[in-house]
Amino acid sequence: MPPREHGTEALAFAVIVAAGKGERFGSPDKVFLPVGGRPLIAHVLDAVEQARSIDGAILVVGDHTRGTAIDLVAKGGWPKVRSVASGGARRQDSVAAGLGEVPPSTEIVVIHDGARPLAAPALFDACVESALRNGAAIAAAPVTDTLKRISGNHIVETIPRAHLWAAQTPQAFRADLLKQAIETATHEGLDVTDEASIFEAMGLPVAIVPSTAANIKVTHQDDLWIAEALFAHRPGSLPEFEP
């Protein structure tokens, strides 16, 4: 395991969520499609492996891709990946499945989308460091587009973008707070798209770690082409990140 950054001794585990069926993308195995010459999910595992703050990782996938994921991990040389877990129907179900696999002594849990192949190792480290100070921290980028609220296909309002940020992953949390948040979401029947929103609903502070739009999530076919272009123009397999 590489030496730690920032002098932290906290035990940190990553839960990589890749259990979706790729319905918007049009392929149930999108995280195994090639980008930058390798399976998309391989870039995510590379970043986690290189992140100095991460001690281990749980890969959470759907039953439809579990065999493929196990084979990839077995051949890939990512010793931090401790297990491949089966996810659930909702995001928080998959996160809960991953949480169930982390060691009880884990202090910080980092949630990352399996479809974000361009998150740099230093971004993981910066989120862990911020979560240690603040309890919760997420990567996010300032919104640059002009936002319009519509009704049907007509604009009804322009939303000022000042103070608006687009949430990304990694998202890092104190393990005890994250477990409490997932239990709250389950008990209240919440269906959330990220874990930070549960913290917000609970009145818990969440810090921002500045990122960029290059930390793209591959959701639609076009996103895969954009990710491919970003890899082609980087001086390596991962983008640089300065915390």
- Measured CA to CA, the distance from residue 129 to residue 241 in angstroms comes to 15
Assigned domain for 53 exists:
yes
- Measured CA to CA, the distance from residue 133 to residue 207 in angstroms comes to 9
At residue 23, the pLDDT reads 57
Q: pLDDT tens digits, residue range 43-67? A: 999 999 999 999 999 999 999 899 9
Report residue 1's pLDDT band, with 50, 70 and 90 as the boundaries: very low
At residue 7, the pLDDT reads 43
* Mean pLDDT estimate for the chain: 89
Report residue 90's pLDDT band, with 50, 70 and 90 as the boundaries: confident
At residue 27, the pLDDT reads 64
CB 94 within 8 Å of CB 87: yes
Q: Count CA atoms closer than 13 A to 157's CA, side-chain side.
A: 5
Assigned domain for 125 exists:
yes
When divided into structural domains, the chain yields a total of 1
Domain membership of residue 217 as a residue range: 12-232
Assigned domain for 59 exists:
yes
Assigned domain for 60 exists:
yes
Whether residue 193 is predicted with pLDDT greater than 90 in this model: the reply is no
At residue 235, the pLDDT reads 56
Please tell me the pTM assigned to this model. Answer: 0.89
Choice between 192 and 41, residue whose per-residue pLDDT is larger: 41
At residue 10, the pLDDT reads 76
What's the mean pLDDT in 145-157? 94
Assigned domain for 152 exists:
yes
Assigned domain for 16 exists:
yes
Assigned domain for 190 exists:
yes
Q: Supply the angle between the helices 40-50 and 121-134 in degrees, to the nearest 10.
A: 60
Q: pLDDT tens digits, residue range 114-135? A: 999 999 999 999 999 999 999 9
Q: Domain containing 207 — which CATH number?
A: 3.90.550.10
Mapped to the 3 state alphabet, what secondary structure does 141-179 carry?
Answer: EECCCCEEEEECCEEEEEECCCCCEEEEEEEEEEHHHHH
Number of C-beta neighbours around residue 133 at 10 A: 8
Assigned domain for 224 exists:
yes
